A and B are shown apart, each in its own frame.
Chain A
Amino acid sequence: MATTMLHKHRVSVLFSFGRSLYRRINVSQGEFGLQQKCSAYSRPINTLSASEAVAEIKNMPDESRPMPAKKPISKAMKAYLLQAKNYDEFMKKQNTEFQIGRRHLANIMSMDADTMTQEDIDQAIEFLFPSGLYEPRARPMMKSPELIFPPKKAAEFDESGRPYHSLFYTMNPNFYGLLQEAVTEYVNLNKEEDNMIRKRISFNSDMKIILSGSDWLSQEKLSNLLIEQIDDAQYEQFKNVMLRLAEHPLSNKVKDFIMKYRYSLVNEAALAEIPKPSYEKDGRAYVTFKGARRKNAYADVTVHMPGTGKFLINDCDIEYFQDIQSREQVIC
């Protein structure tokens, strides 16, 4: 006697009511789709025991927390990841090339590759490839790729496409973030000022920042710092906001923040190399400067210290110059 075993198969039940009910039993859509397409006769009917069916219904996921469908990565995200990868590979390649080039250059110039500085490299390139071009940036240069190729921002949004920075959609998040930081500082300084007034504390000039001796970063430098293109209007806005902050009577408290965006001015006269004096037999010191120029005229000047106040121009008196203006230029 052949007994038919009831196999415990899944039931693919054809429901006549409620489409939502389809999803409650773990039937993959693919199977169901197939079921619909193929004729019912070609497929065996899968069956489930009653207890199993009940258990399934109990274990069904809660309606209140529907399972998120797995989204594929958007095209924008894909393109961005590809770009970032390409950039990294490119920089790596450039770096290795630069390192190899350094070693070759050290070999050519018989210098030590390990102790070679960027200045040495610049000098060597200037020697090997002399250029008559006026613009320094047009002349041949060999620099580390970080200095030549502009830096790119790190990932600005995560895999799901959600940006990290709250101001991402301003298109210049770093710039507007900076402005907001400045304003936040300003508000805090105002609060401190109010507190001081309430407590009757007097204000000193020490509490205000001294801006002399430094100047704001140029538009280009600021763009490089923030890794964002900053146009003229934005640059003006930046200067206005920062100046307003610096104008506050308590601005010395935010000195570090402000000085980040300023560079110190240099007294060029102080930087000038003072030539060392030679000495004559009687102990008088003197310095000779050769090639002092003005238009097509040039002069070799010798100055003695201690001096008599007298001078000779080509073994002549001041009368070497007939024009009064020229004489005035010598004396006054």
Chain B
Amino acid sequence: MSSLTKLISTLARVSDTKLALLNHSNVQIISSAKMSQYPKYFIDPTFRNDELNALYETGEVKEKALVPCRAALTEHTSSEFYSSFTRKFINHVMRKGNKQLAREVVEKAFEVIKKTQIQKYHSLPPEKKVDFTIRDPHELFHQAVINVKPIMVLTPIKRGGVRYQVPVPVDDLQATILAYKWFIEASKDKERTVRFYNKLAKEIMDAANNTGRVVKKKLDLHKQCEANRAYAHYRWN
């Protein structure tokens, strides 16, 4: 009897995360950190044609059909012009729920980027045209965000009645959100006659080249983190 009870306890000591993965081995686990009207086990919908075809090919569709699914948002389309990365940025640009305006503005900025890139391309001599590959504004924006994302930030931590600015690592999602915020701030800071989308286009192109105002902001932040290196241990104690 005692050996059996020992076996029970050993069986029960298998790690929870491994078992959770085993439990839903073929089904994607959504992040449980969200506050949502849905219970945690609801999966995200698959709305892109290529993803759906892949599911049908592997046969995973049968399993996914049995798991309850969240409703697709109105942004979720199988359109040619859909970009999940840009969609998030449009949401951050949006003010007072004016999605139409936010989308217009960002798309205009991309139009400006595209025109500029084409101009650059045609002004190059033929040998250099082969190297000039990135002309898609979505790709360029993606590259710009990667260049602008900070690795660490300063957080105020109170020790002995004094607030110190302590360098702290920042996770990917928070870094991306910061990058979006900086782009929007930089684009707003302009003369009255300059259009937002023009400024935004300029900022994105500069950032993709690792130059410009927004990248400078990130570098300044990193410098400050280096300067406050001495307070790094305040993060724990």
Contact = CB atoms under 8 A, between A and B. Distances in A.
A267 interface: yes
Contacts of A265: 66-67
A241 B7 CA distance: 10
Given A213-B66, A325-B99, A183 B19 contact: no
B96 to A, nearest CB: 16
A179 interface: yes
Contacts of B14: 240, 243-244
26 contacts: A180-B4, A180-B5, A183-B8, A184-B4, A212-B62, A236-B12, A237-B8, A237-B12, A239-B19, A240-B11, A240-B12, A241-B8, A241-B11, A244-B11, A244-B14, A245-B11, A265-B66, A267-B66, A269-B65, A270-B65, A323-B100, A325-B100, A328-B77, A329-B74, A329-B77, A332-B78
A179 B8 CA distance: 7
Contacts, number: 73
Interface in A17-58: none
Given A241-B8, A331-B79, 20 more contacts: A183-B7, A187-B7, A213-B63, A213-B66, A236-B16, A237-B8, A237-B12, A239-B19, A239-B23, A240-B13, A240-B14, A240-B16, A240-B19, A243-B19, A265-B66, A268-B68, A269-B65, A325-B100, A326-B74, A332-B78
Contacts of B8: 179-180, 183, 237, 241
The 5 A-B pairs of least Cβ separation, nearest first, read: A265-B66, A332-B77, A332-B79, A328-B77, A240-B12
B189 to A, nearest CB: 29
B99 to A, nearest CB: 7
Interface residues of B, number: 30
B168 to A, nearest CB: 33
A107 to B, nearest CB: 42
A324 B22 CA distance: 42
B114 interface: no
B66 A325 contact: no
A186 B3 CA distance: 13
A243 B26 CA distance: 15
Nearest to A242: B11
A266 interface: yes
Interface residues of A, number: 32
Interface string B94-130: 0000011001000000000000000000000000000
A149 B7 CA distance: 37
Interface in B67-100: 67-68, 74-75, 77-79, 81-82, 99-100
Interface string A220-238: 0000000000000000110
A270 B23 CA distance: 23
Contacts of B16: 236, 240
Interface in A252-308: 265-270
Contact of A325 (B19, B26, B74): B74
A88 interface: no
B12 A241 contact: yes
A89 interface: no
A269 B81 CA distance: 29
A35 to B, nearest CB: 54
A194 interface: no
A77 to B, nearest CB: 26
A275 B16 CA distance: 45
Nearest to A245: B11
Contacts of A120: none
A212 B79 contact: no
A269 B67 CA distance: 11
A244 B14 CA distance: 8
Contacts of A323: 100
A97 interface: no
